A and B are shown apart, each in its own frame.
Chain A
Amino acid sequence: MKYLKCTLFVALVALVSSCESDYLEPVPTSAISSANYYTTPEEVETAVLNIYDGIQGVFDFGMDENRALQLEFYLTEMRSDNTRTKSSEGEAAQFESFAVEATNGIVANYYQSYYNVIYRANVALENITAAGDMADKLEAEAKFLRAYAYFNLVRLFGDIPLVDRVISPADKATPYARVSTSQIYDLIVSDLTVAAAGLDNSSSYRASKAAAQTLLAKVHLNKGNYLEAQQLCEAVVGSGNYSLEANFKDVFYNEGNDEVIFAVGYIGDSDESQNFSSEFLNAVGRTSGVNYVTQDAKAALDAKGGERTMYSYRIDSGQTTQNQVAKYIPNGDAALGIEATSSDPQKAGNDWVVLRYADVLLLHVEAILAGGNSTSSAAALSSFNAVRNRAGLADDSDSSITKQELMDERRVELAFENHRLFDLMRMGAAQEVLSAFATSTGVSFTSSDLLLPIPQREINLSGGEMKQNPGY
């Protein structure tokens, strides 16, 4: 497991960089400033590592820290039919009841964290020329990470501010001007195109060509550009750098394996650890249990998971009517043959897998399906059956993959990896599926619940300039 050095000081220093050039400017001799720091490729690389650090976040529970990735399950899995809180308490329970409020602190942290990541990327890009020979590669990395941040934000919040350069605190307009999703997508596509051209597949803990291609394929599927998406998926498959792990468990418990295309690494019992793993386990984490598995998801996994089921959820030993996510267990499970990743479960070392090969294979099927009802294309069947066979399941029975079969397969393959909500939205099934799910749990879902509220703090800071999403 690799990790990224914490280089927070770079961001702090950059914040005070807006001095007027009219003043006397003695170059500080005993301190680093952003004006004189980025002079060598190594120094620019620290700016790029700082972006990864922003995404990785901190294990601290403080809501002023960058916590987006570690809180993402609240906004995605718990807002789908996959998971819920154990006890329906507090603002965490707003997600499962589709009653998120604009004042929700978890939503606010997510929004703020990813704009901080975008800021860090913009700092790196602004100083990229100092990187000399490394400039192309570092630019590609920074743009991949910026696109990843925007792709998450645009899918969750809709129209959002477009910040593609370092702005000064005096700029009161840009941070609050919501632009259309199509403009955000233009930046994402342009950034990912640069990233795919400038990177290779040498690391799964740093941005790679395949990671950029996979993310771009997803973007194209969102936009209905099926042929482009298919070509990108086939480029990843054709690279020969990735393969399915023979044993599903190894995807999560043999870190750095060949199935992982892009992961955020963590190291147990260190400053580079994470605490979401423990939050999934009541009595281990700090909460009363979040991201607990719904009956709906359990039923889907029992029926269609095959060998994946036992490594996807397990019974909560403290309360046997409840089920926990089993993909990121921090403190080991002897029965499942899983070892602890740290001695303190709240400082866990389990990596977060962002993109993996099975996802690419199923995206490939989705691209060939091209918005239709079914496909019997040999290429689609080959990808689909590879995922099924690894789970110990037979080939598709009638050699025709329907949209429903694909959605079911994605659900059980990628359960609790924060894909479900985005998949439902992308495949146009969110309103139907989530309305029915809400009815079954006795809550109300309307189509405006698909977008989260813009955090109230942003609207307040904008002096009323920024408009809220409908329904909030």
Chain B
Amino acid sequence: MKHLFDFKLGLITKTLSMFAAVLLLTITTSCEDEVYPVAGSFPDKTPPSAAFSATQGVGFDNEWKTFSFSNQSSSATDFSWDFGDGNSSTEFEPSNVYPGEGTFTVTLTATDKLSVSSTYSEDIVIVEPEAPSAVIPPILEAGFEDNSLPDGTGDGRDSWRLSGAGVIQITSSPVYNGSQAAKFPSAGDRAGYQALEVTPNSDYTLSYYYTMKTSGSGNITVWILPGEVTEFSQIDTSEAIASFVGTDQSDANTYVKVDLPFNTGANDKVAILITNEGVESRLDDVSISAD
């Protein structure tokens, strides 16, 4: 390697005397270039190719209006950016603050020292990011009323069925609201189950009303379970995200309100499970809100 270098150095020294003449020749020929191509000239073999990508800023204030550009051009030395909002730049990798929402056509012209250029354009669509808010899932047949499904059908409990568990009964008295409520006989062999699509890591509150007969002892429990199952046997209540054990037996005709707060954690689906033990119980008007 060193030997090669010495050899080159010697060559350069020897040819140094010829250098001035060559330079002169180049200058005189360059004006002819514009009119007639010199014999032996050839087109730019490595023409520029313009390309870029854009990244939107992240932050609390107006960072979303700032775009930084990553230059992916090749074989180019000079760059000219038109950001589509009246601003421009000749930096290699500039950033631009846009006035606000809208679609802007960004154009990059990449040029080499032979004045060959390449142009690339891309539309960037700027939308102000919305503050992330939790999705409020619809609860079907939330009041256990007949024909209350979105298509106007249903027996008030179709959305609460789960294979392997007895379907809930419907009662017309007492109810909290409307003309029907869910009824769980004292045998405790019924379950209401409905899966909901939710936003992960969000706080929700499930609200409902329940009442119990005054004799005997037992409870009506509402569980929030992670994910969705298709068989009652797959349920493991030890995994429940939240639960409320209702034991208010003071008046069989007066409904008591329960607010059950929970956080969805690493789940984009949770399920409501309603079961009872020992005492005939009623439940009505289930609703959900995001905190």
Beyond A379-B263, A446-B92, A447-B93, whether A368 also contacts B72 by CB under 8 A is no
Query: Which stretch (A244-252, A292-300, A338-346, A369-377) binds chain B?
Result: A369-377
Q: What 1/0 mask marks residues of chain A from 432 to 468 whose CB sits below 8 Å from any chain B CB?
A: 1001000000000011100000000000000000000
- Chain B residues with CB below 8 A from A372, complex form: 132
Q: How far is the CB of B118 from chain A (nearest CB, A)?
A: 14
What is the total number of residues of chain A having a CB less than 8 Å from a CB of chain B? 26
Beyond A368-B201, A446-B92, A447-B93, whether A377 also contacts B263 by CB under 8 A is yes
Q: Are B201 and A403 in contact (CB under 8 A)?
A: no
- Chain A residues with CB below 8 A from B72, complex form: 447-448, 470
Q: Which of B58, B68, B265 contacts A379 (CB 8 A)?
A: B265
Within 8 A of A (CB), among B192-235: 200-201
A367 and B265 CA atoms in complex are apart in Å by 11
Query: Which stretch (A101-109, A171-179, A227-235, A307-315) binds chain B?
Result: A227-235
Within 8 A of B (CB), among A390-418: 403
Beyond A230-B266, A432-B68, whether A373 also contacts B60 by CB under 8 A is yes
A234 and B266 CA atoms in complex are apart in Å by 8
A231 and B71 CA atoms in complex are apart in Å by 36
Q: Which of A374, A375, A446, A470 contacts B93 (CB 8 A)?
A: A446
Beyond A431-B55, A470-B74, whether A227 also contacts B268 by CB under 8 A is yes
Beyond A379-B263, A446-B93, A470-B74, whether A431 also contacts B68 by CB under 8 A is yes
Q: Are A227 and B263 in contact (CB under 8 A)?
A: no
What is the total number of residues of chain B having a CB less than 8 Å from a CB of chain A? 19
Q: Are B58 and A428 in contact (CB under 8 A)?
A: yes
Q: How far is the CB of B199 from chain A (nearest CB, A)?
A: 10
A395 and B70 CA atoms in complex are apart in Å by 38
Q: Are A373 and B58 in contact (CB under 8 A)?
A: yes
Within 8 A of B (CB), among A352-370: 367-368, 370
- Chain A residues with CB below 8 A from B73, complex form: 470
B59 interfacial by beta-carbon distance below 8 Å: yes
- Chain A residues with CB below 8 A from B60, complex form: 373-374
Q: For residue B68, which residue of chain A has the nearest CB?
A: A431
Q: What 1/0 mask marks residues of chain A from 83 to 116 whose CB sits below 8 Å from any chain B CB?
A: 0000000000000000000000000000000000
A114 and B76 CA atoms in complex are apart in Å by 33
- Chain B residues with CB below 8 A from A368, complex form: 200-201
Q: Are B266 and A380 in contact (CB under 8 A)?
A: no
Q: How far is the CB of B137 from chain A (nearest CB, A)?
A: 16
Q: Which of B70, B92, B132, B266 contacts A231 (CB 8 A)?
A: B266
Within 8 A of A (CB), among B122-164: 132
Q: For residue B70, which residue of chain A has the nearest CB?
A: A447
Q: How far is the CB of B188 from chain A (nearest CB, A)?
A: 31
Q: For residue B200, which residue of chain A has the nearest CB?
A: A227
Q: How far is the CB of B133 from chain A (nearest CB, A)?
A: 12
Q: What 1/0 mask marks residues of chain A from 59 to 90 whose CB sits below 8 Å from any chain B CB?
A: 00000000000000000000000000000000
Q: How far is the CB of A181 from chain B (nearest CB, A)?
A: 14
Q: For residue A371, which residue of chain B has the nearest CB?
A: B58
A378 interfacial by beta-carbon distance below 8 Å: yes
A231 and B227 CA atoms in complex are apart in Å by 12
Within 8 A of A (CB), among B60-100: 60, 68, 70-74, 92-93
Q: What 1/0 mask marks residues of chain B from 228 to 267 whose CB sits below 8 Å from any chain A CB?
A: 0000000000000000000000000000000000010110
- Chain B residues with CB below 8 A from A370, complex form: 132, 200-201
Q: For residue A368, which residue of chain B has the nearest CB?
A: B201
Q: Are A230 and B200 in contact (CB under 8 A)?
A: yes
Beyond A431-B68, A447-B71, A447-B93, whether A375 also contacts B201 by CB under 8 A is yes
- Chain A residues with CB below 8 A from B58, complex form: 371, 373, 403, 428
- Chain B residues with CB below 8 A from A447, complex form: 70-72, 93
- Chain B residues with CB below 8 A from A470, complex form: 72-74
Q: For residue B57, which residue of chain A has the nearest CB?
A: A432
A347 and B74 CA atoms in complex are apart in Å by 45
Residue from B71, B72, B200 having most chain A Cβ neighbours under 10 A: B200
Q: Are B59 and A379 in contact (CB under 8 A)?
A: no
Q: Are A378 and B263 in contact (CB under 8 A)?
A: yes
- Chain A residues with CB below 8 A from B55, complex form: 428, 431
Q: For residue B202, which residue of chain A has the nearest CB?
A: A377
Q: How far is the CB of A132 from chain B (nearest CB, A)?
A: 33
Within 8 A of B (CB), among A165-190: none
Q: For residue B63, which residue of chain A has the nearest CB?
A: A373
- Chain B residues with CB below 8 A from A380, complex form: 201
Q: Are A373 and B201 in contact (CB under 8 A)?
A: no
- Chain B residues with CB below 8 A from A375, complex form: 201
Beyond A227-B268, A234-B266, whether A446 also contacts B71 by CB under 8 A is yes
A372 and B58 CA atoms in complex are apart in Å by 8
A371 and B59 CA atoms in complex are apart in Å by 11
A378 and B201 CA atoms in complex are apart in Å by 9
A371 and B223 CA atoms in complex are apart in Å by 31
A470 and B74 CA atoms in complex are apart in Å by 7
Q: How far is the CB of A85 from chain B (nearest CB, A)?
A: 23
Q: Are B201 and A379 in contact (CB under 8 A)?
A: yes
A370 and B70 CA atoms in complex are apart in Å by 24
A370 and B200 CA atoms in complex are apart in Å by 10
A435 and B70 CA atoms in complex are apart in Å by 12
Q: How far is the CB of A279 from chain B (nearest CB, A)?
A: 26
A432 and B263 CA atoms in complex are apart in Å by 34
Not counting A377-B263, A470-B72, a sample of 20 additional A-B residue pairs whose C-beta atoms are within 8 angstroms of each other reads: A231-B266, A368-B200, A370-B200, A371-B58, A372-B132, A373-B59, A375-B201, A377-B201, A379-B201, A379-B263, A379-B266, A403-B58, A428-B55, A431-B55, A431-B68, A446-B71, A446-B93, A447-B70, A447-B71, A447-B93
State the 4 A-B residue pairs at the shortest beta-carbon distance, nearest first.
A447-B70, A230-B266, A231-B266, A377-B201
24 contacts between A and B (CB under 8 A): A227-B200, A227-B266, A230-B201, A230-B265, A231-B266, A367-B266, A368-B201, A371-B58, A372-B132, A373-B58, A373-B60, A374-B60, A377-B201, A379-B266, A403-B58, A428-B55, A431-B55, A431-B68, A446-B92, A447-B71, A447-B72, A448-B71, A470-B73, A470-B74
